Structure formats: C-alpha cells, structure tokens
Amino acid sequence: MNFFPVGLAATLILGSIRLPSTLASETDWPQFRGPGGLGVGAPNAHPPLTFGPSNNVAWRIEMPPGNSSPIVWGKRIFLTAFSGGNLLTIALDRDSGRELWRRGIVPDKVEEVHLSLGNPASATPRTDGERVYVHFGSVGMLAYDLDGHELWRRPMALTKTEYGASSSPVLVGDNLFQLLDQDGGSHLIALDKRTGDVVWRLDRPEMRRGFGTPIVWEHQGFTDLVVPGTLWLKGLDPRTGLERWRVSGLARITCTSPVVGDGMLFTASWTTGGDRNTEHIAMAKFDDFLAEHDRNKDGKFSLDELPPGPAKQRFKHMDGDRSGFIERAEWESMAAIFERAENQAFAVKPDAQGLLSNAGVLWRFKKGLPYVASPLFYRGRFYMVKNGGMLTCLDPQTGTHSYQEERLGAIGDYYASLIAADGRIYVTSQRGVVTVVKAGDSFEVLSRNDLGEVTQASPVPVGDTLLVRTADHLALFREKPTPNSD
C-alpha cells in the first residue's frame, strides 16, 4: 500500500469526521443510488407502477447524451452530459423540467470510451445541499454552488481505460472521494469539499480497471469507506485512507457497488473468464509464450506479435503504462489476477471489533450474477439481475435462493442498477424496458414499461414520482389521479 498525506490538510483532518451541515430530506436523492448509495427510496416513496412516453408523464424533455444518473435536492435536479465537445453540468426545476442553468467545459482531450455504450459523462454527481460535485474522466473534479457558480476545479490525468471513467463521487463529512481504478495508475483520492485541495491519495497498483462506486458504511461505532476493486473488497478509514480490513472474492473487473443491510455487507460481481466451471481464462507462463511469439526477440510483446485470443483481446488492459508493449511485470500481474478471479456474490458480517475478513463470510453464491447493474438489499432480501433479464432473490442470512434467474420478460443487457421503493423492485434493461417486480420471496411481475429508448442510467424514486433518464430524454413520471365515478 502506498499511502501519503498531502500538505497540512491531511494532518488537520485526522481528529474527526465532520458531519454535513445540510441534511437530506425524504424527497432528496443526493448521489448515485440515493441515500447511502443503497438504491432504496424513502419509506413514504410511492413512484408509479405504470409509466412510459405517453403514460403518467408529469414532464418529459430532450436531454443531451450522458450515462450519469440524475440526482435530486429539494426542487432541483442535477445531472451531467456531453454534447458538441462540451462536458455539461445541468440543473433543472423538478416541478416543471425547466432548465435553470448549464455549465460547459471543453476538455483538451476527451477520454477514450466504449464506441457504442460509453459516454464521457458517466459519473453521477453528488450534492450536500450546498455544492454540486461532478467528475469527468477527461478533466477531473469540479464543484458548483446550487446556482451554477464554479467554486473550484481539481484537474486530473486522463483516464487510462478504453471504457472511460464511471465511478461516482462519494462524500464523508468534509472529504470528497473519487475512485480511479484504471489500467495503470489506479488510485483513490480524497479532496477537501470546500476547496478541492488534496487531503490524501492512496495508490492502488494492484487494481487493474474498475468501475464500481464506493459506499459509506456506519456500523459498531466505525465509519468505513467500502471500496470495490480487482479481487478485493476493502474497508478504509475515510479520514486517512488507511486500510482497516479486506475480503477476497470480487471479479477481476468490478463494475458494481456493494450494499449493506441488517448489519451485513453484500456484493456481487461478474466478468468474462471468471466462471470456474465454464469459461475460466488462464494465461500461459510468460517465458513459454515469449519463446513462441516474440518474433523480434526483444523480451516483450507488441499487439502484432500476439495471436488471436484472450491476451490480444485484452492488450490495452494489460498495457497499463500505455507503452505499446506488454512486458513481463504486466503479463505476470494479469496472469495472477486471472488465476485468482472467481465470479460470485457473497455476504460478510463484521466481528466484535467491527472488522471484516474471509472468516466472516456467511455464504458465496455463483449463479445469476450481475455484470454492471449493482445489487440490492431490500426488506430482508438480496436481489441481483443477470444480463438477459434474469432476476435472483436470496435469503441474506443463508444465501439460499427464494427464486433464481427468473425471466423478467425483457431481454437484453442490464446496466442500470436495481432500485426499490414501496414494496417494489424496479429493474431497467438497456433496451429501455423497466420491469416492476413485487418485493418478497415469490417472483411476481407487476408491470413492464417500455420507454422506447436505450436506458443506462438508474431510475430515481422520490416522493410520488419516478425520474428516468434515457438516451435522449429525461422524464418525470407520476400517477395521474383516478377520476371519481358517480
């Protein structure tokens, strides 16, 4: 672990974590997946059961492209977008959808993103009711006040992954965190939310590409910053970045965020090549592969020297320093990750000292795993959706399934995370079909709602509304009153 505080700010903050001066209300959704990052609406939330482009629409407006989810504070909505070479932060009036302000930044260079699925505006903003914090992999972190005045800007290096950056900012007291797990130079950084100054930075060289967002877990008198990454789920002290505990069992690339409930921590992750019994990928020893394929005998591999197969397909992933070659250390590091990687979900319980370890793992489950969509703990059950449209419900204490890989009737990939409110689970396909399932041990589809557009952002249930971002629109849905019949 390479941990180093930066400047006096790191020393001054060690004593305590200051609570935010402004508290969220039951109709606020201040970050990715809402309060606590758990994806659960307030107890009094009652979003509509049926909705669509012409059904229960309070308002629907055109919106520039972006994969970030909207957030809500009071009467304002905030989200990011990318259009015309500009990285945009946009504020809207929640009641009408009227645009209040937008601020644009033209980056010197736009980060590389997936050609069909990616977008340079993929990280969801975070607000504390005083400022709005946004991260773009092309420029770094920015803070605005609620009226759109830029307060500070923290430049960061261009993201090193061909899928772009998507981990969202997280806030604990006065510390703002951004996770940047990449092909090279992975790190977690803590900034002073008031100034953007660096408080501490934790280098994570063992983490090779990741897209999950950390969560904050308060338990047993401790506050843990729970950080997903390659193979490991770690608990860090948010004041210092020092590691308190770790648990193994994550995929080699983790796109999901963990969740908590009933005193336990849950996670689920899947990546190609990590299924032990079917598609497990193993890499050859470097010297053996070198002897066969190093045509110019320079002791490393160029892209042209690699034969078709897993190594060639993952050339950028392994070439962490972007030298244009895969050298011994890069090869052997990735080979070790492939060797240990195993796709699974698991639950872990802390010991009496509030620490977690493999010894505290209650169960591991290896079916029906999500790729991008974060799982959900809701009303004493653990849910996850597998690409193809298959939902699984587990008992959180035992890991036994109430149902497994039940078909939602909406095929395709699932990138939006699971959301719950009012006894319902909202499951959103990339094709834009939101299937609403009754929470509980029995699988029951309550409705299917076709939005008619690609949908990758997670829905937001606040009050009696559901806010959904699609490829080209942002819509607020609310059930219309049923006319009285006399």
The rounded distance, in Å, linking the Cα atoms of 163 and 155 is 20
pLDDT for 20 equals 42
Query: pTM for this structure?
Result: 0.91
Q: What is the mean pLDDT of the chain?
A: 92
- Closest alpha carbon to 258 in 243, 242, 247, 273: 247
Above 70 in pLDDT, residue 6? no
Q: How confident is the model at residue 356 (pLDDT cuts 50, 70, 90)?
A: very high
pLDDT for 114 equals 86
Max CA pair span of the chain = 89
Question: What secondary structure does DSSP assign to 94-131, as a single string?
Answer: TTT--EEEEEEE--SSPPP--TTT--S--SPPEE-SSE
The rounded distance, in Å, linking the Cα atoms of 66 and 87 is 10
Q: Integer distance in angstroms from the first to the last C-alpha of the chain? A: 72
Strands of the 140-145 sheet, one edge to the other: 126-127, 131-136, 140-145, 150-155
pLDDT for 10 equals 35
Output 90 or 334, whichever has higher pLDDT.
90
Q: How confident is the model at residue 1 (pLDDT cuts 50, 70, 90)?
A: very low
CB 266 within 8 A of CB 260: yes
Side-chain-side CA neighbours of 227 within 13 Å: the count stands at: 29
Residue 57: how many other CB atoms lie within 10 Å: 15
Residue 361 tokens, joined: 């793992």
Burial (Cβ within 10 Å: 0-12, 13-18, ≥19) of residue 152: middle
Q: How many percent of the chain have pLDDT more than 70?
A: 94
pLDDT for 198 equals 98
Amino acid at 271: T
Above 50 in pLDDT, residue 2? no
Domains and CATH numbers, the chain: 2-271+341-478 (2.130.10.10), 286-339 (1.10.238)
pLDDT for 263 equals 97
pLDDT tens digits, residue range 387-429?
A: 999 999 999 999 999 999 999 999 999 999 999 999 999 999 9
pLDDT tens digits, residue range 294-350?
A: 999 999 999 999 988 888 888 888 888 889 998 998 888 888 888 888 999 999 999
CB 478 within 8 A of CB 465: yes
Q: In DSSP terms, which residues pair with 177 in a beta bridge?
A: 170, 190
From residue 62, give the alpha-carbon distance in Å to each of 65, 98, 260. Answer: 9, 11, 35
Amino acid at 436: V
